[in-house]
Structure 1
Amino acid sequence: MKIYKQETVQHVNATVQECWAFFSNPRNLQKITPEGMGFQITDFDQKSMYPGQIIQYKVTPLFGITLSWMTLITCVKENSYFIDEQRYGPYSFWHHKHFFEATATGTKMTDVVHYGLPLGFIGRIMNTLVVKNKLKSIFAYRVTKVDEMFNGK
């Protein structure tokens, strides 16, 4: 299986604590996800993020097909980073690291996603033709929404 990497870095005009409070709360994910994704949380225990927490969603990423997605929060260091991993969903591998670093003017946020697709050669073709660009557009949308919410743009 080929593993791909998507990385996004953004400056936020907010403290690390403010960023953490927003981004570590799964309820806020819908606010920074394109509407066309049909994102909906279907199961979440409403607790503050902790290692072992399971969050389930429905998403409609491509061609109007709705998929179930289950993530597991594997690591949490408050105000520093957290990691979510797909346990069930459209990818054969999904590992998403969220980093928060204080700067002189706010917070540097870094998202690093490593992902793999099923179906071997067909998955590699789908990544080239569709998936890579779809992920880039999703993270570009997040940058825009975060700019609107925190950076006054």
Structure 2
Amino acid sequence: MKLYKIVTVQHINASVEECWDFFSSPKNLQTITLDNMNFQIQDYDDKRMYHGQIITYTLKPLFGIKISWVTEITACKENEYFIDIQRFGPYKLWHHKHFFERLEDGSTKMTDIVHYALPFGILGRIVNRLVVKTKLKNIFDYRYNKIEELFNSKKA
């Protein structure tokens, strides 16, 4: 199994608590997801992120094909980190870590680390090279820019 890794580091002009308040709410995931993916939460218990939480949603990541995705929060420490994994969905493995670090100036350094693998062996590697890698880059670039807009454009 070929494992891929994506790392994104972003400085946010907000406190760790403000960042946690936003990112620990599953409903805000739709806000930072590309509109053309038709992301819709199907079910979650309307609570802040916690260990063991299950979130189900649908989206259309490629070619307008609707898929279901089930995420489980496998670790969570308030104002510090949470980890989500895909329980059911298109990846053979999806492991996403989110870290929040308080900086001396009161802002936050947020680090996302995603490990993923695709099914279908060599075919999955080819599909990653041709389609998935670029699509994920676009998704995380959009997320980065949306977070800039939401948090960092407010600085006077």
TM-score, normalised by the number of residues in structure 2: 0.96
Query: Conserved in 1, the CA contact under 8 Å of 2:41 and 2:56?
Result: yes
What is the CA–CA distance in structure 1 between the aligned matches of 2:77 and 2:109, rounded to whole Å? 16
Q: Normalized per residue, which structure has more strand?
A: 1
Per-residue CA deviations over 1:89-114 (Å, capped at 9, x if unaligned) read 01010000000001123000000000
RMSD: 0.8
Structure 1 ranges of 4+ moved more than 3 A: none
Mapping 1:23-34, distance limit 5 Å: 23-34=23-34
Matched, 1:78 2:111: no
Aligned residue number for residue 102 of structure 1? 102
* Gapped regions of structure 1 (runs ≥ 5): none
Query: Conserved in 1, the CA contact under 8 Å of 2:96 and 2:114?
Result: yes
Query: Conserved in 1, the CA contact under 8 Å of 2:26 and 2:48?
Result: no
TM-score, normalised by the number of residues in structure 1: 0.98
The aligned amino acid for 2:20 is W
Mapping 1:1-153, distance limit 5 Å: 1-105=1-105, 106-152=107-153
What is the CA–CA distance in structure 2 between the aligned matches of 1:132 and 1:7, rounded to whole Å? 13
Q: Secondary structure at the match of 1:32?
A: coil
Per-residue CA deviations over 1:77-136 (Å, capped at 9, x if unaligned) read 100000000000010100000000011230000000000001111100011111111111
